[in-house]
Structure 1
Amino acid sequence: MTKTYGYYRVSTADQNPELQINALKDAGCCEILGDIGFSGAKTSRPAFDEIMNKIGEGDKLVVWRLDRMGRSLRHLVEVNETLAERGAQFESLTEKLDTSTPMGEFVFHILAAVAQLERQIIRERTLAGLAVAATKGRFPGRPRKDERWRMAA
């Protein structure tokens, strides 16, 4: 019996996954699992791993958006190859992407590359912002150990 698995992910506990869950329900997913507080950059996530262990011949993995499944091109391609080896399909609702067709497979690879590019650009901006803050003597995040000792004295 074939199944349609829905997967949702939010990066922080204060984000609300309801939009994703509702879209997956509307898409007819019979089982919906999700990870809360996990980055898409992590390849191993409890609910995602559970779905990947269950999915088989004729099944389909559905996500709200491609970046919910993963952010690196390598990981997205690996997941897609694993699904194909098992005879399973992949669908992304927002991008209207379905890998059961040659064109869908082609578009998948293009969008996966764009998702990775977006992640790299965000990383570059973050590092640039941290560098500017450091030149002004500000270091975001938890105070360094030596600073805490000086403040306590």
Structure 2
Amino acid sequence: MRVGYARVSTEDQNLDLQIMALEKAGCTRLFSDHGVSGGRFSRPGLDSALQAITPGDTLVVWRLDRLGRSLRKLVELVDELGGKGVEFVSLNESIDTTSSGGVLMFHMMAALAQFERSLISERTRAGLAAARKRGKTLGRRRLLSPQQCDEARHLLEMEGADAVAARLNVHPSTLRRSLLLAQADADEICG
């Protein structure tokens, strides 16, 4: 049996195109999620589809991204399906795990996507390092200035952290974090 799964992310999108393609591909049972993000792999329609399939069945999607956005999770799901004797087909990408070529294509796409994520991560880290070398301050603006941190250290000798935080109009955890960051900055300058 071919089981079809369709999904759209927002309520104003339409499932018709996907459903027509799944019916044309021979799906006898259809499950869908309307207005549900592909970032989550626990969705009512997908959960029902996964419960309905049995060994020998094929799960069919219109496009790979309709099943989910995380390629790592997609690979895990397709491997899990294979372990249960269930095949997988993505119509637009021509992925069909009923053939060895389809399995190869799926894993090549997964490897390329992982490679792309690694490159993006490397470029991001290199860009952040270059910005730091240029003296650029990264991240959110600090709530306490260096002068306020000095004042807080002095006040902490006489008062508790909650009272000092209230006086500086910040949460006690923000006070602690600010003091740690200020100390790390001072150590970096001296070190």
TM-score by length of 1: 0.71
- 1:63 matched residue in structure 2: 61
Q: 1:19 to 1:112 in 2, by over 3 A?
A: farther
Take 1:59 and 1:89, find their aligned partners in 2: how far apart are those partners? 6
Paired residues in the alignment total 118
Take 1:115 and 1:9, find their aligned partners in 2: how far apart are those partners? 22
* 8 Å CA contact retained: 1:5, 1:29: yes
- 1:132 matched residue in structure 2: none
- 2:22 matched residue in structure 1: 24
- 1:141 matched residue in structure 2: none
* 8 Å CA contact retained: 1:24, 1:62: yes
Structure 1 segments unaligned to the other structure (5+ residues): 125-153
- 2:2 matched residue in structure 1: 4
User: Which of the pair has more CA radius of gyration?
Assistant: 2
Structure 2 segments unaligned to the other structure (5+ residues): 125-191
Amino acid at match of 1:102: S
Amino acid at match of 1:25: E
SS at 2:7's partner residue? strand
SS at 1:23's partner residue? helix
Q: In proportion to residue count, which structure has more helix?
A: 2
Take 2:110 and 2:17, find their aligned partners in 1: how far apart are those partners? 22
CA root-mean-square deviation: 2.0
Q: How much has 1:67 moved relative to structure 2?
A: 0.7
Q: State, as a whole percentage, how many aligned pairs show the same letter.
A: 51
Aligned ranges 1:93-104 → 2 under 5 Å: 93-104=91-102
- 1:34 matched residue in structure 2: 32
Q: 1:113 to 1:37 in 2, by over 3 A?
A: farther
* 8 Å CA contact retained: 1:57, 1:88: yes
SS at 1:19's partner residue? helix
Amino acid at match of 1:46: P
Aligned ranges 1:1-153 → 2 under 5 Å: 3-112=1-110
Take 2:52 and 2:83, find their aligned partners in 1: how far apart are those partners? 14
Take 1:24 and 1:45, find their aligned partners in 2: how far apart are those partners? 19
Amino acid at match of 2:22: L
* 8 Å CA contact retained: 1:6, 1:62: yes
- 1:143 matched residue in structure 2: none
Amino acid at match of 1:41: G
